[in-house]
Structure 1
Amino acid sequence: MSSQRKVAVITGASQGIGAALVKAYRAAGYRIVASSRSIAASTDPDLITVAGDIADPATAERIFSEGVERFGRIDTLINNAGIFMAKPFTEFSQQDWLLNINTNLAGFFHVSQPAIEQMVRQGSGHVVQITTSLVDQPINGVPSVLASLTKGGLNAATRSLAIEYASRGVRVNAVSPGVIKTPMHPEANHSMLAALHPVGRMGEIDDIVNAVLFLEQAPFITGEILHVDGGQSAGHW
């Protein structure tokens, strides 16, 4: 197959933001390698699905061996896979700690390293992390230490990688959402969650997709943490 069409790798791609990103990038003409623990097989010749745990290095190996072998290149990586646990700090278990570290940080490492290696060989590429505005603006009543620790680490890695690879054609950015209306939030909680944002509503999945697409089309932007949070990160109200 021709390797001229752009290719995007999207993790956490089976539902919510990840599934919407797959749809948006396909609509933009990209070939896709989509991964999650439970993603279904694809009949689309321009869409490879890889089922597996992103914390397992073998999953990352399959993503890139299958993606590069079939499509010949990787232009964009969206590190969307992640977990969020709202627990008081003293109630986190060792299992909680390992699950957060393995999914949010180890998963990022295992996938981003081969992606950036491939992008450097090509002379261009773009990596985007999906983090959280709780890193910059904690909210009383929303205990989020492990999310802040791991996603804050991704924000720091975003800036560091942006500088390290700027001269080699690879951009690295992040989108930092507020609370987004996804299947993980029961409708009964929507009013309470909407009130956490100065604009008075939860974010929509399209708000995040549009932010990622904006960064995709902005070649002079790298090292940016783009807050898409209804004013949450600006301060208290």
Structure 2
Amino acid sequence: MNRFDLGGKRAFVTGAASGLGQAIAIALAEAGAHVACFDLPRAAGQDETLAAISATGNRVLALEGDVTDRSSIEAAFDRAERELGEIDIAANSAGIANVSAAETMPQSQFLRMMDINLNGLFWSCQVEGRRMLERGRGSILNMASICGSTAIPGLEQVHYDATKAAVIRLTKSLAAEWAGRGVRVNCLSPGFMATPMNSRPEVAENVRKFAEMTPMKRMGQPHEVGGPAVFLASEAASYCTGVDLNIDGGFLSI
């Protein structure tokens, strides 16, 4: 079981203030890692994340920035390494979701989704990967979604689905490119999770339907993503790269 232990490791988590990013940051700390938490300035939930990580007895560092700005990520990553030490694990969870009919979606809405969910994730991987490749070791986790593999009836979010499909493909391509250089790259694809993102007014009426559509007949809880994240980040997954791990209550088995 010590292969699951992250004691002495250092992690960098984007989107750590709330939702699944928060759950992953806390889970990594509970497994023993010191954690740098990167999110927008004054992001709601950041204090709760920091308090939960501090309660584990491991070090925590709050970092502010925007994943759409590569220099912002680089500055935060540099500070994390100065204050915590060399980063072993990166989890890229920053993202947004919204809905709009495809035929009337404004160009600005489509482009913003791409800029945060896809471009921002790639900039994060690039900054993290360069440093890890220099050292010949590291584990990167990307946040995808089952929406990257299937369309959900009733959800008009073609732009969101497109970003998550791209994240899955990007993860596999990076994994293949970096596999021989000591850096593993995997992604998590949650199903319907009880997060603030799924409490948005435009999807509130669908929550009951989401639960009914899932074979387990319930929404997932954020902490249920933490365990899979710890596994993929740890030495227990040392031969896993390019994995898209579904955490969906059986949804994609239908």
Query: Do they superpose with TM above 0.5?
Result: yes
Q: What secondary structure is seen at the aligned counterpart in 2 of 1:128?
A: strand
Q: What secondary structure is seen at the aligned counterpart in 2 of 1:35?
A: strand
CA contact (8 A) 2:140 2:233 kept: no
The whole-number CA distance in structure 2 between the counterparts of 1:228 and 1:26 is: 20
Q: Which amino acid aligns with 2:191?
A: G
Q: What secondary structure is seen at the aligned counterpart in 2 of 1:195?
A: helix
Q: Of Structure 1 and Structure 2, which has the larger fraction of its residues in helix?
A: 2
CA contact (8 A) 1:129 1:154 kept: yes
CA contact (8 A) 2:220 2:248 kept: yes
**Aligned positions of 1:1-237 closer than 5 A:** 5-37=8-40, 38-39=42-43, 40=46, 46-186=59-199, 189-217=206-234, 218-235=237-254
What percent identity do the matched residue pairs reach? 31
1:152 CA drift (Å):
0.9
CA contact (8 A) 1:134 1:144 kept: no
1:163 CA drift (Å):
0.9
Q: How does the TM-score come out when normalised to structure 1?
A: 0.90
1:188 CA drift (Å):
6.2
Q: Which amino acid aligns with 2:242?
A: G
Q: Which amino acid aligns with 1:138?
A: A
1:169 CA drift (Å):
0.9
Unaligned 5+ runs, structure 1? none
Unaligned 5+ runs, structure 2? 1-6
Q: How does the TM-score come out when normalised to structure 2?
A: 0.85
Superimposed CA distance per residue, residues 174-209 of structure 1 (whole angstroms, 9 cap, x where no aligned partner): 111111001233376532221231221111112211
CA contact (8 A) 1:174 1:226 kept: yes
The whole-number CA distance in structure 2 between the counterparts of 1:149 and 1:14 is: 24
| RMSD over aligned Cα atoms | 2.0
1:124 CA drift (Å):
0.9
The whole-number CA distance in structure 2 between the counterparts of 1:119 and 1:158 is: 16
Q: Which amino acid aligns with 2:73?
A: A
CA contact (8 A) 1:12 1:82 kept: yes
1:143 CA drift (Å):
2.0
180-189 vs 154-163, greater mean Cα deviation: 180-189
Q: What secondary structure is seen at the aligned counterpart in 2 of 1:8?
A: strand
Higher relative contact order (CA 8 A, sep 6+): 2
